[in-house]
């Protein structure tokens, strides 16, 4: 049996050659799975994370799990020193504080720039000559009565008590004993005009369906005397008629009991004018300056006369006169 040879043992057995890899165009499906056409819309759907991965398959790692610069990050983050953490917290707090204060500062700046100078506390313009009038409000109306220039009030009638439409005296004023805010006679009103014109004016008032006259007067500490008359007629047409009959337009018409004639104040720009009303302002000059200021307000069925004057050589201030004129115009509107 010399021809017999011993069978090779496992230690000397050569390894079997590996099986050839499948062709690239072939796909070996996982056990139990069916191939899904690429053209199917489900091909774009992700595989649920709960689907088990066969143990025989290996998942290739195309990206490192740990960035190179992280060093030992795989073993957990390395805690920063306490001093570094305190610095970081401090920087964060200061950054937040700067952002908050910056936002507040921006909001405050925007608020101030959108306000008038006189509305900013501490920046109000003081000593500009304006008088300190109390807070004004329109009086209550009888039930169902509209305001004079409401669309429902075609006749433009003032239904409120005329006496309550008079502007009140400012702070520091001394009330005129004759003009206390109540009703006054026609005689009292015409006494404000030159003596040679009073009879003519009285006749005009008698012919104009005048209902009544309310008036208030006062004197300020600087000597300025103020008088306001409100004349109410039966209709707007009568009020406009008296204005036209007394030639109130480019001239004040019937002159006041004053030594000089007044001229139209060309510097008056109708500031604060109420729609549907008309204002005519006069002074001793074309700029309205002088010892006296006069103005008429035409507002529906009511005609107002406003007078500010100074005795002697002192000039009557223009600012409080225009302030009074604007406020009285608003009350009548």
Q: Which two tokens stand for residue 236?
A: 């707007």
Which tokens sit at 153? Answer: 């009030």
**Crossing angle (nearest 10°) for helices 195-206 and 236-245:** 150
What are 312-325's pLDDT values in tens digits?
A: 888 999 999 999 99
pLDDT above 70 as % of the chain: 61
> Using one digit for the tens of pLDDT, what is the confidence trace for 15-38?
444 444 444 444 434 443 343 333
pLDDT over threshold 80, residue 112: no
Q: Are 176 and 227 in contact (CB under 8 A)?
A: yes
Task: Calculate mean pLDDT across residues 303-309.
Answer: 98
Burial category of 295 from C-beta neighbours within 10 Å (exposed 0-12, middle 13-18, buried 19 and up): buried
- How many Cβ atoms are within 10 Å of 176's Cβ, its own excluded? 17
d(CA 174, CA 171): 9
* Upper half-sphere CA count for residue 262 (Cβ side, 13 Å): 32
Whole-angstrom distance, CA of residue 261 vs CA of residue 216:
24
- Residue 49: per-residue pLDDT: 42
| Least confidently predicted of 27-41, 214-228, 298-312 | 27-41
DSSP 3-state of 167: coil
Residue whose C-alpha is closest to residue 239's, from 316, 324, 298: 298
pLDDT of 313: 83
User: How confident is the model over 201-209, as a mean pLDDT?
Assistant: 96
Distance of CA 319 to the CA centre of its chain: 26
How many whole angstroms separate alpha carbon 162 and alpha carbon 138?
A: 11
**Which pTM was predicted?**
0.64
């Amino acid at each position: 049996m010399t021809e017999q040879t011993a069978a090779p043992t496992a230690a000397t057995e050569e390894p079997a050659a590996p099986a050839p890899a499948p062709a690239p165009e072939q796909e070996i499906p996982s056990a139990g799975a069916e191939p899904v056409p690429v053209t199917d819309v489900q091909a774009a759907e992700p595989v649920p994370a709960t689907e088990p991965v066969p143990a025989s398959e290996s998942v290739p790692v195309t990206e490192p799990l740990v960035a190179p610069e992280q060093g030992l990050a795989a073993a957990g983050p390395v805690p920063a020193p306490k001093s570094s953490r305190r610095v970081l917290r401090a920087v964060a707090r200061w950054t937040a504080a700067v952002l908050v204060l910056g936002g507040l500062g921006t909001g405050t700046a925007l608020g101030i720039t959108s306000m008038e100078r006189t509305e900013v506390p501490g920046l109000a313009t003081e000593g500009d000559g304006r008088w300190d009038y109390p807070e004004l409000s329109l009086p209550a109306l009888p039930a169902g009565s509209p305001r004079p220039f409401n669309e429902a009030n075609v006749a433009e009638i003032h239904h409120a008590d005329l006496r309550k439409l008079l502007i009140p005296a400012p702070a520091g004023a001394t009330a005129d004993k004759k003009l206390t805010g109540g009703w006054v006679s026609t005689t009292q009103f015409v006494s404000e005009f030159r003596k040679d014109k009073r009879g003519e004016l009285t006749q005009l008032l008698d012919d104009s369906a005048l209902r009544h006259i309310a008036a208030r007067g006062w004197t300020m500490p600087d000597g300025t005397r103020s008088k306001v008359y409100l004349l109410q007629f039966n209709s707007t047409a009568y009020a406009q008629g008296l204005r036209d009959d007394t030639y109130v337009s480019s001239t004040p018409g019937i002159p006041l009991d004053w030594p000089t004639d007044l001229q139209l104040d060309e510097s008056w720009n109708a500031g604060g004018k109420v729609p549907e009303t008309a204002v005519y302002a006069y002074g001793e000059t074309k700029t309205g300056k002088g010892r006296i200021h006069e103005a008429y307000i035409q507002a529906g069925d009511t005609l107002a006369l406003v007078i500010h004057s100074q005795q002697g050589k002192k000039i009557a201030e223009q600012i409080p006169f225009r302030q009074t004129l604007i406020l009285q115009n608003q009350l009548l509107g």
